A and B are shown apart, each in its own frame.
Chain A
């Protein structure tokens, strides 16, 4: 049923992405692809993967933006995936009922057995979060790794979305954003987490944490001249260099 659930117990599972920390390594996107090509919406088909013009389905993509100019300008790495919106137009436009929002936790999913591949949901999503699988003829999107977060075969510490568990910088957090006292909600409150494109009215559940104010000191006039670079002790011979290092220890 593509009408939105009228009742739920207030649980809203979602991600909090820290743009201050993200280093743009794309590990989340790669691990997402790796897990999900065998997961709930598998496969994430690749076309022409080794050719000149590879194409394929990804749930998570990392963009890099420049914001501002000159000394105050920043480079911000920006992972983007489905935001599991509270008012998801992608769900209500679906003519078949294949797209739905789960009543129990708000996760937005596609039923690959009933999707007709009309692509209207991807038109309705302002965030470009849905990608059509040309080989399968159905729409695919982030599943919030429902096959990990509820998976009793995984040790409890691994019951996280693949992107969250893999992020080497801990820029991604997962939790219940419907509970104002959850760790993620507290983090959002503390850091001023925000919604992307609120003017679209989708009420995204996922939140983004803004980059912190610049703390670059090199922009200030140095108080003292930089330390003199120590004179080179290169003797021109590997053996003598080794002796030198040993003796100066």
Chain B
């Protein structure tokens, strides 16, 4: 599948934003981090900016962005529609929780309930994003049970790194929290390794033989394409990446997004507050780089069944 930058940015940026809000609610609930107005406001502003920028960027690739509101109508059948509805609905409890916890600074009463609703809806929204991909049977590498957990795991891990980085500015990062985030980051990447292993060893779901029904005669090969230039289907669905490049990019993503991020977080947890700022931001940059490569690969490595009509032998 063609890795469209607007969708890569949308899924990674909004994922981190939603993850950060969930962590903020958890921290407020447990009272681990003193939710000073400055820290709380910073996390809310950055998260909402990431979510909003992501949502806007996802409308850039539409043919008719001015009709985007129509996408809210088919929530009964469409995961894309459900994602839109969930994304908009999530704003309400987030804003109520933000206002309540910042201006009334009461964490243990009514406001925390809005926080819990906000956290729940954040997870639902990220889950809907995952389901958009996981529900597409035409793309076997997406249509697996690991895709939704992966989207949620990366939203939570990148969101946690974001909270740590912001908190470090306010000297408010207990070391244990940075270490915990390192563990979450590594866990998300372990899940990704499991996914890679799964798609590498999975049996092909469809073949050129089943796509044409000509397998009874023998092995099927494309002799002539219908036309000599690229069409929409080949451009959008025919994108392929050489195994060699994919393997290299997987390693880079894992080392930068997983190992380097976790290391920087461990070090940040050991350093006194002022010094933890730099390492926390190194972790943030590593996490962002890793997730962008991961998401690019998620698209680039996925093969669409329609490519069987254009020369692929199996998907």
**What residues make up the interface of A, taking CB atoms closer than 8 Å to B?**
1-4, 19, 26, 29, 53-58, 61-69, 72-76, 78, 80, 89, 91-98, 114-120, 122-128, 131-134, 136-138, 194-201, 208, 210-211
Contact = CB atoms under 8 A, between A and B. Distances in A.
B63 A115 contact: yes
Interface stretch (B148-156, B207-215, B254-262): B207-215
Contacts of B227: 58, 61
Nearest to B205: A199
A93 B220 CA distance: 31
Contacts of A136: 63
Given A96-B74, A116-B64, A127-B305, A196 B212 contact: yes
Given A69-B218, A118-B80, A200-B137, 12 more contacts: A61-B226, A63-B225, A64-B224, A94-B78, A95-B72, A95-B81, A96-B70, A116-B64, A116-B68, A116-B70, A116-B71, A196-B212
Interface in B176-215: 205-206, 208, 210-215
B231 interface: yes
A165 B146 CA distance: 48
Contacts of B61: 118-119
24 contacts: A3-B74, A63-B309, A64-B222, A66-B221, A69-B218, A76-B212, A78-B212, A78-B309, A93-B78, A95-B81, A117-B63, A124-B136, A126-B137, A128-B307, A134-B63, A137-B64, A194-B213, A196-B212, A197-B211, A197-B305, A199-B205, A199-B206, A210-B214, A211-B217
A78 B220 CA distance: 12
Contact of B80 (A58, A120, A210): A120
Given A55-B229, A93-B135, A114-B70, A75 B223 contact: yes
B219 interface: yes
B223 A200 contact: no
A122 to B, nearest CB: 7
B216 interface: yes
B136 A65 contact: no
Contact of A3 (B76, B211, B225): B76
Nearest to B139: A123
A136 to B, nearest CB: 7
A2 B78 CA distance: 8
Chain B's interface size range is 35 or more
Nearest to A127: B306
B75 to A, nearest CB: 8
B78 A92 contact: yes
A89 B34 CA distance: 48
A96 B77 contact: no
Contacts of A67: 212, 214-215, 217-221
B232 interface: yes
A127 to B, nearest CB: 6
Scoring A75, A122, A198 by chain B CB atoms within 10 A of each residue's CB, the highest score goes to A122
B22 interface: no
A98 B71 CA distance: 10
Contacts of A56: 231
B245 interface: no
Contacts of A64: 222-224
B206 A96 contact: no
Contact of A123 (B76, B304, B307): B304
B74 A123 contact: no
A77 to B, nearest CB: 9
Contacts of A115: 63-64, 67
A95 B260 CA distance: 39
Contact of B309 (A57, A68, A80): A80
Contacts of A54: 229
Scoring A95, A117, A132, A197 by chain B CB atoms within 10 A of each residue's CB, the highest score goes to A95
Given A65-B220, A210-B213, A126 B138 contact: yes
Scoring B139, B214, B219 by chain A CB atoms within 10 A of each residue's CB, the highest score goes to B214
Interface string B72-114: 1110111111001000000000000000000000000000000
Contact of B74 (A55, A58, A74, A95): A95
Contacts of B68: 116
A110 B30 CA distance: 51
B233 interface: yes
Contacts of A134: 63, 232
